[in-house]
Amino acid sequence: MSRPFNFAPGPARLPPEVLEQAAAEMLDYQGSGMSVMEMSHRGKHYTRIQDEAMADFRSLLGVPSDYEVLFMQGGAIAENSIVPLNLSRGGKVDFVVTGSWSKKSAAEATKYCDAKVIASAEQNGHFTHIPAVDTWGSRTDAQYLHLCTNETIHGVEFHALPNTKTDIVADVSSHILSRRMDVSKYACLFGGAQKNVGISGLTFVVVRKDLLGHALLSCPGAFDYQTVAANGSMFNTPPTYAVYIAGLVFKWLKEQGGVAAIEARNIQKSQELYDFIDASHLYAARVSPDCRSRMNVTFDLRDSALNDRFVEGGASAGLLAFRGHKSAGGMRASIYNAMPIEGVRALIAYMREFERLA
Ligand SMILES: Cc1ncc(COP(=O)(O)O)c(C=O)c1O
C-alpha cells in the first residue's frame, strides 16, 4: 500500500506495521472473539497488553526502579494542572519559557502555586533560542523547575538539560523516545502519546517515587499520582485502545533497535533537512542551530507570498500537513520516529524543485 508522507505535528504518522497489525486484530484480538476496544480492562487479555506496554516503555526509556510509570488521560494540557496539584505543595515553581507550550503551562500553574517565569525566549511572539542559563532568575526554594524540552510549535529543543540543583519537571510530549534521556536527571517527565508513542487519549507520566503522596487536597483522586500508582494505572478505566497501540509502537521500536538506533536515524533525518534549508536561497530555518528540534523542523519561505502554493504543491506530491501552527506561521515539518528517511528526502526533493521553479 502506497501512502503519502504525513508531516503533521500530532496526531501524527504511525509506523505502517503498527496500523497493519491493529487492522489484522481489529475484529478478533488473538482468538478472544473481541476487539481490544470491546474487552474488559480487568480481563486477562487487556491486563497483559497493559503490563507489556508498561514494561516495554520502561525498558526502552531506561526508567530506574525508584520511578513510577503512570498511564493517565487528559493529555499534556491536563498535566499542566495535574503536575502542580501533585508536586508543587502550593509553593514556588519556576518556569523557563521557550515556546507556546511552556508559556501555557506557566499560566495554568498560577491557579495552584506561586508560578514564576524566570526566563523567557519570547521576542515579538517568536521563540528561536533558549535563554542562557546564567540569566535565569532561579529561586533556590522552588519545588521544581518546569521545562518543555521540545517545543512542538516553534521547534526549539533542549539538547542537554541545564545543570541545576532544582528538580526538573519536563513536558517531553514531542520528543519522548526520539533520543536517549537520562531519566534520573528528571523529577518527573510527562506527555501525550500522539506523536512518538501512539494515539491521543493516553498520557504517560514518569515520576520519582519519593515525590508521591503530597498532592494538594483539591487534587481529584483520578489525578493523584499516588492513587494512580497504587492502582496500577487502573484507578479509573484506562484508555485501553490507546494503550494497546502504544504497546504495538513499543514493539516496533524495539525491532528498530531501540532508542539509540532511532536517535541516530533522527539525527540523520533532521541534519539532511536543516543542511538543505541552510544552503538554499528560498528557505530559512527559524531556530538557532544549537537548539533546533530534531522532531519539528520550522522554517520560512523568504517570500511568504509563495506559502499557499508551496503547501498545495506538497499535498499534490503526497507530502501532507507541513504548514506551521497558526500562531507561528511559516512551515513546520514534523519528522517523528515513524517518518522514514525516504519521507524526508522526498520533502527535500520537492523543496529543491519548488525553489528551482520559483
Ligand atoms: C509539547 C506539547 N505539550 C502539550 C501539548 C498538548 O497536548 P494535548 O493536546 O494532548 O493535551 C502538545 C500538543 O501538541 C505538545 O506538543
Residue 346, pLDDT > 90, answer yes
Residue nearest to atom 16 of ligand 1 (CA): 152
| Contact residues for 257 (Cβ-Cβ < 8 A; gap 6+) | none
- Three cell numbers written together for 249: 509502537
Residue 230, pLDDT > 90, answer yes
Cα angle value 105/107/112 (rounded, 5°): 90
* Catalytic, out of 195, 224, 269, 300: 195
pLDDT score recorded for residue 251: 98
Contact 214, 42 (CB under 8 A): no
pLDDT score recorded for residue 21: 98
Question: Burial, 122: exposed, middle or buried (Cβ in 10 Å; 0-12, 13-18, 19+)?
Answer: middle
Average pLDDT over residues 111-136: 97
Tell me the pLDDT band of 296, cut-offs 50, 70 and 90: very high
pLDDT score recorded for residue 2: 77
Instruction: Locate the ligand 1 atom nearest the alpha carbon of residue 148 and give its number.
Output: 1
Cα angle value 300/306/309 (rounded, 5°): 115
Residue 143, pLDDT > 90, answer yes
CA–centroid distance, residue 173 to ligand 1 (Å): 6
Could you tell me where the DSSP H helices lie in the chain? 16-24, 44-61, 75-87, 100-109, 225-230, 240-255, 258-279, 307-316, 341-357
Cα 211 off chain centre by: 23
Residue 216, pLDDT > 80, answer yes
How do residues 305-324 score in pLDDT, each as one tens digit? 999 999 999 999 999 999 99
Contact 220, 235 (CB under 8 A): no
CA–centroid distance, residue 75 to ligand 1 (Å): 7
Distance, CA of 1 to CA of 87 (rounded, Å): 47
Residue 108, pLDDT > 80, answer yes
**Taking all residues of the chain, what is their mean pLDDT, rounded to a whole number?**
97
How do residues 236-291 score in pLDDT, each as one tens digit? 999 999 999 999 999 999 999 999 999 999 999 999 999 999 999 999 999 999 99
How do residues 18-28 score in pLDDT, each as one tens digit? 999 999 999 99
How do residues 62-77 score in pLDDT, each as one tens digit? 999 999 999 999 999 9
pTM: 0.98
Residue 149, pLDDT > 80, answer yes
Residue 1, pLDDT > 70, answer no
Average pLDDT over residues 13-35: 98
Contact 121, 98 (CB under 8 A): yes
Instruction: Locate the ligand 1 atom nearest the alpha carbon of residue 78 and give its number.
Output: 11
Q: Strands 156-157, 150-151: parallel, antiparallel or unpaired by DSSP?
A: antiparallel
Q: Is 101 among the catalytic positions?
A: yes
CA–centroid distance, residue 312 to ligand 1 (Å): 26
The sign of the CA dihedral 309, 155, 337, 223 is negative
CA–centroid distance, residue 172 to ligand 1 (Å): 9
Q: Tell me which H or E stretch contains 173.
A: none
pLDDT score recorded for residue 163: 92
**What's the half-sphere exposure (Cβ side, CA atoms, 13 Å) at 53?**
27
In whole angstroms, how far apart are CA 147 and each of 134, 262, 334? 16, 23, 20
Ligand 1 environment, Cβ below 6 A: 10, 75-77, 101, 148, 152, 171, 173-174, 192
* Catalytic, out of 56, 94, 103, 171: 171
The residue whose CB lies within 8 Å of the most ligand 1 atoms, and thus the one to mutate among 73, 82, 152, 197, is: 152
How do residues 321-334 score in pLDDT, each as one tens digit? 999 999 999 999 99
